[in-house]
Amino acid sequence: MANSAINPTPEFKEKKSVKIAIWAFTAVVFLLVTLMGSKDFPRPDEAPEFTKALPTVNAIINFSCFITLIFSFIMIKKKNVVMHMRLNTFAMVLSVFFLLSYVLYHVTNKETSYDGDLVVIYYFILATHIVLSGISLPFILFSYYRAFIGDIKGHKKIVKWAYPVWLYVALTGPIVYLMLSPYYGH
């Protein structure tokens, strides 16, 4: 199987409609996460029982994304472009499932507060996780899109910083979960 699945051409067109869609999606996600973080956000009095397992599911999805991104990096270093593309697509799919599961949990369950001894460390990790996930989202989408249209130079330019940030976010999500897990209302 050839590793030259992408045929970068000097001329590529980044469609304006895709740019608008990426920024609109980012804005919707940001707005939704902000609203869900509000104490006034309407939630049911009793969360559906199955949703109580979603924080664990989210941590597993996040860690799976982290591992997938590591293997994707290894594949591109070995010049296995096809596997790199497949792994990145899988990481994107995992991220979509994570986002859906995350939203479902947070619209149905009350916020859980951390009450441990490592409160400063916990809130530092949580704050950086939240801020970096919000900042990196459009750039992850743009880098994926640029690779998709064959703009490998543009893709590389973005992933130089977006990739380590995505890795950090994918790893700190499970760390936040592990630190918070004793306080979930099981």
Q: Average model confidence (pLDDT) for the chain?
A: 88
pLDDT of 1 over the 60 cut: no
Six-digit token pair at 161? 């910083």
Residue 148: CB atoms within 10 Å: 14
- The pLDDT value recorded for residue 71 is 98
* 118 secondary structure, DSSP code: T
For residue range 145-182, list pLDDT tens digits in order: 999 998 999 999 999 999 999 999 999 999 999 999 88
How is the chain split into domains, by residue range? 50-183
d(CA 105, CA 184): 12
Mean pLDDT value of segment 49-66: 94
pLDDT of 6 over the 60 cut: no
49: confidence class by pLDDT, cuts 50, 70, 90: confident
**Alpha-carbon distance values, 169 to 5, 40, 79, 132, 142 (Å):** 29, 27, 25, 7, 17
pTM for the full predicted model:
0.84
| Look-up of token digits 């918070």 | 180
Six-digit token pair at 152? 């490998």
